[in-house]
Structure 1
Amino acid sequence: MNMGSSIQINKTGLFFLIFVVGLIIFFYHTSSSTSSARDEKISFEPPDGKVVSLKELLSAAIDAAVRGGNEVRQVRDAASLHELSKGETKEGANDPVTDGDYKSHIVMYYSLKKSFPSIKIVSEEHDSKIDPATIEPAERKLREIDDNISSDEIVYSKDITVWIDPLDATQEYTEDLRQYVTTMVGVAVKGVPVLGVVHSPFIPITYWGWVGHGLSANLKTIKKGSAAELVPSSSPRIIVSRSHKGTVAEVALQAFGDKTQVIHAGGAGYKILEVIQGRADAYVHTTAIKKWDLCAGHAILSAMGGTLTTLSPVSNIISYGDSTQFLNSNGLLATIRDHEYYLKKLQALRKP
């Protein structure tokens, strides 16, 4: 036996062994990463697999509002309103409806529903015996949005409620007071308004806001201007409804003094935009109002840093997460700033 002999290592065999071990390690890590990614995907997707891009929904909402506005304008220009009455409001005022309302509803509702079949949409109007086959889906990728917003949010469709007002300020529409008329789309996630579109078809101009993500160019300009510099006024400008007056003018004068300027205007969308643009200090409403009148403007106001609440001393939160039409409150207040000042003044009058 030669105890002093050396062991010769086969270099080819050693290379092969190292290669095999490397492959085992590689496939182990690859398998683990794939499994982890699959687990993350499963944990994100709801059981029905229905999720929605809010960025795409914003594009679709803008497209729907503009298309609805085109219908509203064409009916008004043709002077073929075919005005009817849906009855009386809770205050006893006439509640009119026209062909403009119905035609706008059809194109807005079905274009959104075709683009997002799984979302819940609540509209002011309803239709029967309508064949929506000719309605094209709403555009989900507008260049205006892609160029200005890089971020996105993906949410479960079950958490989304879309409120559309096919023709806000119908009473003023019948009187040919075109400046007050808008078409609106508001989007709430778990009851919170996050996307808003207000389109004025007779100007035409479109305002949109996405809370935490972006604003239309015209709102960006406003935010840098007078609305951001509003200061408390000794003669506040309070904008109120011209067709659903109630006692709001008297309430405003009592709350803020004889120097208060009361501005009467039509359409909740219009009035909220007047506050946003600094032409009114607060929007006050004391009679019944429906959520499709508010959701879009509420979202834009929030995106601008403003506030819209009820006047109830108990809870000021407005939820848009269900299909309950009426805002269950004793009034509302919308402001860009100094909200607590106006709220306390108004609440003081409503204490028992």
Structure 2
Amino acid sequence: MAPMGIRLSPLGVAVFCLLGLGVIYHLYAGVISSRINSFRQQKNVDLRDLLALSIEAAVEGGREVKKIREDNTLEERSKGKTKEGVSEKLTLGDLNSHRKMFYLFKNTYPFLQVNSEEHDEVKENPAVWSREIPEDVLQKVKVREVAADRITVWIDPLDATQEYTENLKKYVTTMVCVAVDGEPVIGVIHKPFTGYTAWALVGDGANVAPRSEYSISAPKVIVSRSHAGKVKGIIEEAFGNNTVIIPAGGAGYKVLALLDPPDEDYEEADIYVHVTFIKKWDICAGNAILKALGGHMTTLKGVEIDYSGSERNDGGLLASVKVDHKTLVERLSSVEKEKH
């Protein structure tokens, strides 16, 4: 009698194949995963390219902001309340700018961590970086590569939304910041309604500069419009009753007020103080610019701000350039000690 063979039905063949694939997957999944992670970790990005992309993103986002405001199609609504109970505005200008800026980065460097103030239902956008590098960037900045997994990008698609809804255009900016290992390295602040753009790359150069003189004996202190009354007493105790307090909107505007003014829309300030919590996309770009110019942006206690991880900075804010930042911290700290 001839030996009997084993015959499998089509269903049995399919099950056998699936079991085999399962075994192979378990054997090699870990290897494949580690190789993919290794490949991702080996990706490098040129900071000069990132600066050029950051400038283009801020400008393109600014065009969206300007168009919505000029067309008066804001579609204004509230996205909730701040910790202090103030309604946070959201407009079509915020969203259109976010889409343009966010996807310029994601379509160019899909592996980068990009944090934006806004989020929406749109899953993609055809925005593509032109790959053009501005002439002043080419002249001042050298090629410098950094591993992609060390980079965090912070985007503020529309800074000073409250003022934007009130048509106070001078306070409005779009901002991009690139942090490496949590430290701000690239900062771009763009004014949509004048076309002015300030940029800096720490260690390489900037297109903006500090003023020639500052005062801390009787300083001009720029603060948030929405917190001007609350911060007034603290500032006067720290710096004296002759201190001039300048209420203003937008963190980007406040940082530029510390520098050589780009246009007539700016008020000159010596120090920028913020006493409540603030989001990192509001301050990272300004921090990078000040750092590139030898200035400082810290918490009120003088602690450097880490731009990795949480989006919140809970320690308040103190920003300065070309003055003794440590003395400013000590004066503010002495007020806090007296209160406790």
Give the alignment's TM-score, normalised by structure 1.
0.80
Aligned counterpart, 1:11: none
Aligned residues: 294
- The answer to which of 177-186 and 272-281 deviates more is 272-281
Structure 1 unmatched runs, 5+: 1-44
Deviation at 1:146, TM superposition (A): 4.9
Alignment of 1:320-331 (within 5 A): 320-322=307-309, 324-329=310-315, 331=316
Equivalences for residues 208-247 of structure 1 within 5 A: 208-216=199-207, 219=208, 222-223=209-210, 227-230=211-214, 232-245=215-228, 247=230
Q: Write the distance in 1 (CA, Å) between the matches of 2:94 and 2:62.
A: 10
Q: Quick check: which has more Rg, 1 or 2?
A: 1
Report the CA distance between 1:130 and its aligned residue.
4.2
On the 8 A contact 1:64/1:107 being kept in 2, the answer is yes
Cα shift readout 1:216-255 (whole Å, capped 9, x = no counterpart): 2xx1xx34xxx2432x343210000002446212211111
- AA in 2 matched with 1:332: L
Residue 214 of structure 1 and its aligned partner are, at CA, apart by 1.0
* Equivalent in the alignment of 1:78: 71
Q: Which residue identity lines up with residue 181 of structure 2 in the other structure?
A: K
Q: What does residue 253 of structure 1 align with?
A: 236
* 1:129 Cα offset (Å): 3.5
State whether residues 246 and 286 of structure 1, in contact with CA within 8 Å, keep that contact through their aligned partners in structure 2.
no
Change over 3 Å in CA distance of 1:146–1:327 after alignment to 2: closer
Over 3 Å counting, the alpha-carbon distance change for 1:300 and 1:268 in structure 2 is: same
Is the contact made by 1:111 and 1:137 (CA closer than 8 Å) also made in structure 2?
yes
Quote the offset at 1:46 in angstroms: 6.0
> % of aligned pairs identical?
46
Per-residue CA deviation, residues 309-335 of structure 1 (Å, 9 max, x unaligned), is 1013xx60100022x111031x11000
Q: Give SS of 2:189's match.
A: strand
Kindly indicate whether residue 153 of structure 2 is the aligned counterpart of residue 162 of structure 1: yes
d(CA) in 1 for partners of 2:170, 2:332: 29
Q: Secondary structure at the match of 2:319?
A: strand
Query: 1:285 corresponds to which residue?
Result: 274
Per the alignment, residue 187 of structure 1 pairs with 178
Q: Which amino acid aligns with 2:85?
A: G
Separation in structure 1 between the aligned mates of residue 257 and residue 50 of structure 2, nearest angstrom: 26
Gaps of 5+ in 2: 1-36, 262-267
Classify 1:211/1:62 alpha carbon distance in 2 versus 1 (closer, same or farther; 3 Å). same
1:74 CA drift (Å): 0.2
From 49, 57, 72, the counterpart of 2:50: 57
2:249 aligned residue: 266
- TM-score, length of structure 2 as denominator length: 0.83
Q: What is the aligned partner in structure 1 of residue 318 from structure 2?
A: 333
Aligned-pair CA distance for 1:118 = 1.2
CA distance in 2, matches of 1:195, 1:283: 20
Residue 296 in structure 1 maps to residue 259 in structure 2: no
Query: Contact 1:71–1:103 at 8 Å: present in 2 too?
Result: yes
For 1:233 and 1:192, the matched residues in 2 are separated by: 27
Q: Give distance in 1, aligned partners of 2:159 and 2:120.
A: 17
CA offsets 1:185-209 (integer angstroms, 9 cap, x no match): 0010000000000000001100000
Q: Is the 8 A contact 2:68 2:92 kept in 1?
A: yes
Mark the CA change 1:141 to 1:346 in structure 2 (over 3 Å): closer, same or farther. Answer: same
Counterpart position of 1:33: none
Please state how far the C-alpha of 1:148 moved relative to its aligned partner: 1.7
Alignment-derived partner of residue 343 in structure 1 = 329
Residues 166-191 of structure 1, C-alpha deviations (whole Å, 9 max, x = no match) = 00000000000000000000010000
Q: Could you say if the C-alpha distance between residues 150 and 165 of structure 1 is closer, same or farther in structure 2, counting changes exceeding 3 Å? A: closer
The equivalent of 1:106 in structure 2 is: 99
Q: Does 1:92 align with 2:85?
A: yes
* Structure 1 contact 168–181 (Cα < 8 Å) conserved: yes
Deviations 1:259-290 (A, max 9, x none): 00000000001001101237111000001200
Q: Residues 146, 193 of structure 1: CA spacing in aligned structure 2 closer, same or farther, 3 A cutoff? A: closer
* 1:319 and 2:306 matched: yes
Aligned equivalents of 2:63 and 2:251: distance in 1? 20
Q: CA deviation at 1:152?
A: 2.0
1:170-209 alignment, distance < 5 Å: 170-209=161-200
SS at match of 2:311: coil
Q: What secondary structure is seen at the aligned counterpart in 1 of 2:232?
A: helix
Kept in 1, the 8 Å contact 2:113–2:153? The answer is yes
Q: Give the CA deviation at 1:131.
A: 3.8
